[in-house]
């Protein structure tokens, strides 16, 4: 089994890591460093071909000299869900998670458990034009939408007053138009406008 120098290996399995099992496979993902800081859970859709961990794709006995394993024929799942670890001490280097049971099936002894998936996680700072791959999907909702104001339903009395006020404003507008049109309105028009204005003030206060 090969490990990349400078990559911290996490999530070691309990028991004997050298117990018989199927071949291990490799995969690497780039994620925003913020995802690691928040410890988000991520659903990872794996590619059809995954490199053999023993030979890193070069070809060996474990992979029958092919250098990679094809899913789902080899038993590798199509998706895995991982919780991203928060690097201790604020480290920004790559991390490697070992996921038991997410590797390939043994070629001859199918009774053995599946191998491990060695998932390398590379944190990246936000840069213009870069987005996480479409094969990654966060399962956590860490952005809250704006708080919406709850409005009380309008009562029947409020509705009646609103409609009456609208009618009064319409009559006022019509009277004002007649006033400007005739320039010198009769005394009855002036009294009418005054009464309508008084009625509107009484109803709305």
Count of other CB atoms within 10 angstroms of residue 38: 14
**Contact indicator for 93, 7 with CB cutoff of 8 Å:** yes
Decide the pairing of beta strands 95-100 and 116-124.
antiparallel
- The pLDDT tens digits along the chain (205 residues) read 443 444 444 444 444 667 889 999 999 999 999 999 888 999 999 999 999 999 998 999 889 899 999 988 888 889 999 999 877 655 568 889 999 999 999 888 888 999 999 999 999 988 888 999 999 999 875 444 444 344 455 566 666 676 776 766 666 666 555 555 444 445 555 666 666 776 666 666 6
Question: What is d(CA 95, CA 84) in angstroms, rounded to the nearest whole number?
Answer: 9
Q: Where are the domains of the chain?
A: 8-138, 156-204
Q: Cα torsion for 79, 68, 6, 124, to the nearest 10°?
A: -40
């Amino acid at each position: 089994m090969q490990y990349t120098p400078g990559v911290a290996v996490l999530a070691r399995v309990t028991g004997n890591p050298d117990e018989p099992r199927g071949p291990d496979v490799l995969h690497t993902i780039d994620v925003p460093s913020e995802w690691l800081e928040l410890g988000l859970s991520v659903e990872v859709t794996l590619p059809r071909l995954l490199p053999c961990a023993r030979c890193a794709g070069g070809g060996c006995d474990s992979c029958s000299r092919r250098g990679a394993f094809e899913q789902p024929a080899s038993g590798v799942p199509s998706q895995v869900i991982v919780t991203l670890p928060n690097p201790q001490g604020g480290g920004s280097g790559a991390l490697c998670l070992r996921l038991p049971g997410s590797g390939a099936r043994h070629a001859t002894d199918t009774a053995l458990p599946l191998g491990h998936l060695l998932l390398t996680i590379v944190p990246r700072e936000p840069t213009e034009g870069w987005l996480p791959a479409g094969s990654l999907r966060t399962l956590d909702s860490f952005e809250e939408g704006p708080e919406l104001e709850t409005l009380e339903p309008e009562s029947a009395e409020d509705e009646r007053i609103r409609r009456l006020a609208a009618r009064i404003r319409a009559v006022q507008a019509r009277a004002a138009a007649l006033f400007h049109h005739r320039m010198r309105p009769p005394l009855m028009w002036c009294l009418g406008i005054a009464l309508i204005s008084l009625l509107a003030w009484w109803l709305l206060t």
